[in-house]
Amino acid sequence: MPSQNENFVFFDKADFERSLKRRRIKANVTVFSQAYTKDAVFLAAGGTFGKVCIWDMRVVLGQEATKAIYDPVLEFEVCETGDTDSAAANVFSMATFEEALLVACGSYVSAWDWKTLRKGQVPESPIWTTAVKAECNSIAVDVANGTRGATVYAACGSGIVYALDAATGAITTTFTGHTNMVHTVAALPGLASRHVSC
């Protein structure tokens, strides 16, 4: 709260910095990634400042849609670093499968429960979080063997691609040999054997 003393106005520095940060976040969000639920009802988008926003597309695209309805039904922080001002807080990639929204934020990949998110609630914690030792640029999920045998692939700035068990987040395979950072990874589902392109 500002206080006045003759011709001077004093501000609480902490309040001013929080207010400035909120304005900066609102004005400068860049969306790096998005993912739909399998039924295309919910859209998740992630970008700068370690946040994920979720929209109910039935509302956004409905006949009753107004500008006020375009606000997300849910917004939550996914960044493990706690520092939402650093580049490590960027949500560069997301993927989805029946049970979870997969989020790559900084050097972490996490899985968030869709059942809870669909209710408009933020889960207390992710289903799992795995550190991948370098900034994760891209993730893809292969559900060729059904969701129980699903594999998540994470492409990293270190030139390494990790394969993770989608149910537990455990690293099952590490692919090395790239001479530079890996920007993108894609899984080709439905093939007799697993194919990954990076």
Q: What percent of the chain has pLDDT over 90?
A: 22
Which two tokens mark 118? Answer: 């669909």
Rounded CA separation 83/86 (Å) = 6
What confidence score (pLDDT) does residue 50 get?
82
Strand partners, 158: none
Which two tokens mark 129? Answer: 């979080």
User: Are the C-beta atoms of residues 111 and 100 closer than 8 Å to each other?
Assistant: yes
What confidence score (pLDDT) does residue 192 get?
46
Under-70 pLDDT residues of the chain = 1-12, 18-28, 64-69, 80-88, 144-148, 189-198
What confidence score (pLDDT) does residue 165 get?
92
User: Are the C-beta atoms of residues 129 and 70 closer than 8 Å to each other?
Assistant: no
What confidence score (pLDDT) does residue 114 get?
92
Q: What is the CA radius of gyration of the chain?
A: 20
Q: Which segments of the chain are extended strands (E)?
A: 3-5, 8-10, 31-36, 42-47, 51-56, 74-77, 91-96, 100-105, 108-113, 128-131, 136-142, 151-156, 161-165, 171-175, 186-187, 196-197
pTM score: 0.77
What confidence score (pLDDT) does residue 65 get?
61
Distance of CA 169 to the CA centre of its chain: 15
Contacting residues for 31 by C-beta, under 8 A, at least 6 apart: 45, 46, 47
- Nearest of 87, 121, 124, 120 to residue 106 by alpha carbon: 87
Quick: pLDDT tens for 71-105.
Answer: 788 888 887 555 555 556 788 899 988 889 999 98
Which two tokens mark 110? Answer: 């996490």
What confidence score (pLDDT) does residue 157 get?
87
What confidence score (pLDDT) does residue 13 get?
72
